[in-house]
Amino acid sequence: MSWETVIGLEIHAQLSTESKIFCGCATRFGDEPNANTCPTCLGLPGALPVLNGRVVELGARAALALGLHINNKSIFARKNYFYPDLPKGYQISQYDQPFSANGQLEIMTAERDDAGHPMEWRPKTIRITRLHLEEDAGKNVHEGLPDVDRYSYIDLNRAGVPLAEIVTEPDFRSSWEAYDYVNHVRRSLQWVGASEADMEKGNLRCEANVSVRRVGEEKYGTKVELKNLNSVRFMQRAIEYEVARHIKVLESGGRLTQETRLWDDRAMETRVMRSKEEAHDYRYFPEPDLQPLIVSEQFVEDVRRAMPELPETRRKRFGEQYGLSYADASQLVSERSLADYYEAASEASGNPRATANWIRTELLRELEANNLSAADSPVSPHELGALVRLIDEGKISGKQGKDVLVEMFKTGKPAQTIVEEQGLVQVSDTGEIDALIESVIAANPDQLANYRSGKEALFGFFVGQVIKASKGKANPKVVNERLRAKLN
Ligand code: ADP
Ligand code: ZN
Ligand code: MG
């Protein structure tokens, strides 16, 4: 009998504010330990929290980008636990009245083949349970060897940095669905400027709850929570590892325990961190030092109006307005700067489909090789558009265009300048092309005989030879026409 995977995800995203959520300290990363602290984020007696308005605005952007409803009233609550990096002895979070709840997020997802390539993209709706606002804890830093000269330090620069916690229902049925969801959320948050959402920098952290059940069974199985997932790919692998482990235990008649496990990306396995018995009872209660957070309809409307067009809306529009395929459109909206680049370039070229092609095949390769985003491209969208236009107008060939683009990328010069400097012109002159055709035919009598006796595929051979003889300058369209006239 086969098994079904069930996954629910919890994401913590750092909101991109300059100052912390309840005090004026900087959120800057990489400063001297404890440089960015004050009585409030150190948890000193008598210090009071004051909510940072920018957190509410970015939280609202995040919620709207994920299609969530924003509650008119939410309540901050104390989540009590004792840990060295939590000086107050509690974290200010939200509990039964969160900032935002009840979302239905449509993502695009695909299973992957053995080589990791997506198979068939399909839409899937994920229910988002809630998005709440909270503060981050500090960091414990350990140095030296255990039992020899081990020192532990506490850095509270991160204490009080604003987070949005985003929790889903257990709606994922495969590790790839979870993978595609996290990427979707990351892009959405970056797109609207709510968070940098970079897992490597730790400003987006993800926990996966995983269980399995027999296909057809309604009741969920025992879940395990996975932590320490440092990239989306590691999360996907950790889930796969965990699912296989669950199935093995259950099929050999064993039982699973509800526990938290850590992913070890060197050993490529998960290990127990703590069991359910060690789980905290947080004794939540409303934070007495903060008012309920009231968010008006007008505020939500203002935030909504200030937001850029969202990626999925833009993808659909690219399909309808420019006739792009799903694959083209979705790649072009993978980042906001790329989507902006595309629209500017296609306006300059007057040929949206060709522009999409040039960006996807040629420009992105150069950008990736140089580790640049579209916003930092040495070739401006206007110049890429001009290049596409030169090819469209038959001034240079597509093949020449590729070399020109590489040169534009290297030198930053406009397409027209490079074309002039290198004396590039596409030969469309029928007299010149006819002469080339004559010499190619004369040099290949066997192929000619075979072609005439019915091997029509050889037509392509002749086209290729003529273009080669012209050093890539012959206009392929004219070559085709003249060859056909000559041979038939
Ligand atoms: P807990 O009380 O242990 O925190 P919650 O019900 O709050 O559990 O859910 C936490 C996360 O775990 C949510 O993302 C939820 O979708 C997911 N989850 C709950 N039950 C399961 C399960 N049986 N299998 C997988 N994920 C689950
Ligand atoms: Zn502070
Ligand atoms: Mg919970």
Residue 473 contacts by C-beta under 8 Å, 6 or more apart in sequence? 397, 400, 424, 425, 426, 427
| Protein residue with its CA nearest to atom 19 in ligand 1 | 170
DSSP state of 32: S
Q: Is 169 in the pocket of ligand 1 (CB under 6 A)?
A: yes
C-alpha 12 to ligand 2 mean position (Å): 20
pLDDT tens-place values along the chain, 488 residues long: 699 999 999 999 999 999 999 999 999 988 999 999 999 999 999 999 999 999 999 999 999 999 999 999 999 999 999 999 999 999 999 999 999 999 999 999 999 999 989 999 899 999 999 999 999 999 999 888 877 888 899 999 999 999 999 999 999 999 999 999 999 999 999 999 999 999 988 899 999 999 999 999 999 999 999 998 999 999 999 999 999 999 999 999 999 999 999 999 899 999 998 887 777 789 999 999 999 999 999 999 999 999 999 999 999 999 999 999 988 999 999 999 999 999 999 999 999 999 999 999 999 999 999 999 999 999 999 999 999 999 998 888 888 899 999 999 999 999 999 988 887 777 778 888 899 999 999 999 999 999 988 888 889 999 999 988 888 788 888 888 898 888 87
Write out the two tokens for 205. Answer: 């952290």
- From the list 431, 424, 433, 483, the residue with the least C-alpha distance to 458 is 483
Q: Is 88 in the pocket of ligand 1 (CB under 6 A)?
A: no
C-alpha 22 to ligand 3 mean position (Å): 24
Q: How high is the pLDDT of residue 1? A: 67
Confirm if 228 and 221 have CB atoms less than 8 A apart: no
Q: How far is CA 405 from CA 87, 198, 282, 359, 390, in A?
A: 56, 31, 59, 11, 12
What domains appear along the chain, each with residue ranges and CATH number?
3-298 (no CATH), 309-421 (no CATH), 430-487 (1.10.10.410)
Distance CA 266, CA 234 (A): 10
Q: Is 220 in the pocket of ligand 1 (CB under 6 A)?
A: yes
C-alpha 237 to ligand 1 mean position (Å): 19
| Protein residue with its CA nearest to atom 14 in ligand 1 | 8
C-alpha 209 to ligand 1 mean position (Å): 6
Write out the two tokens for 22. Answer: 């309840």
Q: How high is the pLDDT of residue 280? A: 77
- Whether the model clears a pTM of 0.75, i.e. scores above it, the answer is yes
Ligand 1 atom with the smallest distance to the CA of 167 is 14
Q: Which of 131, 167, 223 to mutate to test the pocket of ligand 1 (most atoms within 8 A of CB)?
A: 223
C-alpha 165 to ligand 2 mean position (Å): 21
